[in-house]
A and B are shown apart, each in its own frame.
Chain A
Amino acid sequence: MTKLPYLPETPSQTAGPYVHIGLTPNALGNAGIYPQDLGAAPIRDGAKGERITIRGTVTDGAGMILRDALIETWQADAQGIYPAPNDPRGRADPNVTGWARIIADFDSGVWTLETIKPGTVPHPSGDTMAPHLSAWVVARGINIGLQTRIYFEDEVAANEKCPILARIEHKDRVSTLLAKKTGKGEYWFEVKLQGEDETIFFDL
């Protein structure tokens, strides 16, 4: 059989419990290497759109809150444009960087993201995806980063039309992707790695 010339992707390994040394050294208390941690905020002052705060936890299959989880999020601006040179639709809001790196609090395990609510983004089919943030979760015990999405429970009409949410066969699981509104501009999003109400993870 002829071997195709494609190179296999470098295999993943767990980020381990000491991921903060490399990715958030200042938050860990290891000041002195970099002036500040990367991804501390996905927006700057003056970013257009609705300011929101998303908080949450990551829990394991035994119901224990992870204190060593790290989450990165990637999102569009309020118009639904990604702040990346490879978004073919033009320039995003210059005050939106779109990417954040957040860690669970070492004591409580709660993580907090302050950002703006993203706009809708077109799907390859021509349909429109509901407002969402892409989230990537790594930690000790996670062998390959888990991809999920944070949608918003108050975007009912957009969520109903989202082609990615429509792909989910078990409709009762869609709610695991919806950030719950807990106040004006405040949301709660729990990542449950395993078991009851397990969060939907994607292979996109």
Chain B
Amino acid sequence: MADAAAQAPTRGPLVARDRLWHPPAYAPGYKTSVTRAPSRALIAAPSTLSEETGPVFGRDMLGEMDNNLILNFTGQPAIGERIIMHGRVQDDQGRPVPGVLLEIWQANAGGRYRHKKDGYAAPLDPNFGGGGRTVTDDGGRYEFLTIRPGAYPWPNGPNDWRPMHIHVSVFGSGFGQRLITQMYFEGDPLIARCPIVNTIKDRSAIEQLVAPLDMAAAIPMDCLAYRFDITLRGRRQTFFENRPEGL
């Protein structure tokens, strides 16, 4: 049980996002962004209650198999490389963020998604749905059991392939912290070639999305493990208290 005082605060103004760290809206190497990027500047202002509050999801809403993608579709095991994906959700000062919803989705071991718009030649796995969810514990920790997704081709450049990746959606304690990202796997040579990865300009920001192999968390004779920590937008400390907290 983590010390509650050391957990991320749930009230107060949000720290402004570093928009040079995140990918820009317009990144022509990723062709779809060309017509889906706003051309006008964002309107910036300090956060309000509308961004500082957000929905809460209890662990009691979770089903027993929600974070086990190997078994949660039919109850029979999916085919592929068995892995644990685990880590911690933290704020900008490294304090754990407990009680937040994490949702993931991914292709199967052959790179095929269970989605009616995916027409890739690799077959579906009848026992793999590809979705999972969990809620972080008091220490901000989470884990999924899944199979490592395959790379797959996509119509961008004439021969573009996505690296192996797992999509990750995370909530914070405020709607303004809402984030969707993708986790990549250490050592994948497709990472450096991917136009979606390369929408991010800063190499160290890209490295933040590459999960290292975590042998200490692997289960011998059962599954490997990868570690993916997630850092949410922080909350600003109020140095001068000239107004009620949170307002």
The interface of chain A, by Cβ under 8 A from chain B, is 5-23, 25, 28-30, 32-35, 38, 60-62, 64, 66, 68, 72, 74, 76, 82-88, 97-99, 106, 121-124, 126, 129, 132, 134, 136, 138-147, 149, 164, 167-168, 173, 193-195, 198-204
Contact = CB atoms under 8 A, between A and B. Distances in A.
A203 B116 contact: no
Given A16-B167, A21-B113, A23-B103, A84 B245 contact: no
The CB with the most chain B CB atoms within 10 A, among A9, A68, A121, is that of: A9
A74 B113 contact: no
B110 interface: no
Interface string B39-54: 1101111111111111
A9 B77 CA distance: 35
A10 B94 CA distance: 12
A194 B33 contact: no
A25 B72 CA distance: 13
B42 A203 contact: yes
B179 A12 contact: yes
B56 interface: yes
Interface of B: 10-11, 13-14, 16-19, 21-25, 27, 30, 32-40, 42-57, 63, 66, 72-74, 90-94, 101, 103-106, 113-118, 129-133, 167, 169, 173-176, 178-182, 196-197, 199-200, 205-206, 208-209, 230-234, 243-247
A-B pairs with lowest CB-CB distance, top 5 = A22-B105, A141-B32, A141-B36, A99-B55, A143-B23
Contacts of A145: 178-180
A21 B42 contact: no
B38 A146 contact: yes
A99 B54 contact: yes
A101 to B, nearest CB: 10
B36 A88 contact: no
Contacts of B94: 7
A161 to B, nearest CB: 15
Contacts of A7: 90-94, 231
Contact of B21 (A11, A34, A132): A11
B25 A23 contact: no
B35 A33 contact: no
The CB with the most chain B CB atoms within 10 A, among A13, A15, A142, is that of: A13
Contacts of A18: 105, 113, 115, 117-118, 167
